[in-house]
């Protein structure tokens, strides 16, 4: 089972700042199998990034994903008020289980 560790647990930033969220896998994974989701309070998660670096439909270009092997990053170039939420990385490989990181809470400073 691939264990995903996200850091930091909580990130406090101001609108307009740059956010960098990390997701580290317990062993090397294919970039094709790494996705990021955003979850706002009281809502279901929604897809942000798939294949480590491809933006989902309708996702603004201030969101970008990068990385390979065991280290992956979600970057939000300039935070908007609606970006403050919890972010999860996910590994969905060729066989179960599917695993999620524990989440990074992005809060307004």
Partner 1 sequence: QVHLVESGGGVVQPGRSLRVSCAASGFTFSTYAMHWVRQAPGKGLEWVALTSYDGSNSHYADSVKGRFTISRDNSKNTLYLQMNSLTAEDTAVYYCARRVSFGNYYDYWGQGTLVTVSS
Interface residues with partner 1 (CB under 8 A)? 32-33, 35, 37, 39, 43-47, 50-51, 56, 88, 90, 92-103
SS3 83: helix
Q: How far is the CB of 78 from partner 1 (least distance, A)?
A: 25
Q: How far is the CB of 51 from partner 1 (least distance, A)?
A: 7
**Closer residue to partner 1 (CB): 20 or 45:** 45
Tokens representing 44 are 């279901």
Comparing C-alpha atoms, which of 38, 30, 43, 46 is closest to residue 88?
38
Q: How far is the CB of 30 from partner 1 (least distance, A)?
A: 9
- CA gyration radius for the chain? 13
Q: How far is the CB of 45 from partner 1 (least distance, A)?
A: 6
The span from the CA of 90 to the CA of 28, in Å, is 14
**Closer residue to partner 1 (CB): 84 or 101:** 101
Sign of the dihedral defined by the CA atoms of residues 10, 108, 99, 27, in that order: negative
**Closer residue to partner 1 (CB): 45 or 64:** 45
């Amino acid at each position: 089972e691939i264990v995903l560790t996200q850091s930091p647990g909580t990130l406090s930033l101001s609108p307009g700042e740059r956010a960098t969220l990390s997701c580290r896998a317990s062993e090397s994974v294919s970039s094709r199998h790494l996705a990021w989701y955003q979850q706002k309070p009281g809502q279901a998660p929604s897809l942000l990034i798939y294949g480590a670096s491809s933006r989902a439909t309708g996702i603004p270009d201030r969101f970008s994903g990068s990385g390979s092997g065991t280290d992956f990053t979600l970057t939000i170039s300039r935070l908007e008020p609606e970006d403050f939420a919890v972010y999860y990385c996910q590994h969905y490989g060729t066989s179960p289980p599917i695993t999620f990181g524990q989440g990074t809470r992005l809060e307004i400073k």
